[in-house]
Amino acid sequence: MTQQEERQGERMAAASQAFLAEGRQRLADAAGAQSEFLDRIQNSHRKWLDRIQSEANLAVDFANKLTSARSLTETASLFQSWTAKHMEMASEDARRALSDTQDILAAGARFWTQLGGGNGTGKGH
């Protein structure tokens, strides 16, 4: 084997090592981005489950107060209070939905960017 062939073999081995290292890094980056994406979804899910529980608690509290109401005025006041609280919760729901959607989309964009090699062009481009 000539020196030129040896150098060519060394260059090919170095290029192979660099290629493998880059591939490992891309896989690690994609796994990290995927993990972040899934964490954001799970966090959102937990918040919505808490919200559902608070809605159930509000309904139980309202029903208990309503059954113990002694006058039409007291009943109307309970409905007014429940409606105000319900509207407040609906407003919070809208803010939370927008915030969660933005967080999830941002994490998803980072995930897809990682799959594309970090340049935002997508795989193979």
- Tokens representing residue 84 in the block: 């105000």
Mean pLDDT of 4-25: 84
Give the number of other CB atoms < 10 A from CB of residue 114. 20
pLDDT digits (tens, 9 = 90+) for 97-125: 999 999 888 888 877 777 775 554 444 44
Whether pLDDT at 47 is above 60: yes
pLDDT in the model for residue 122: 44
Check residues 78 and 111 and name the one with the higher pLDDT: 78
pLDDT in the model for residue 118: 52
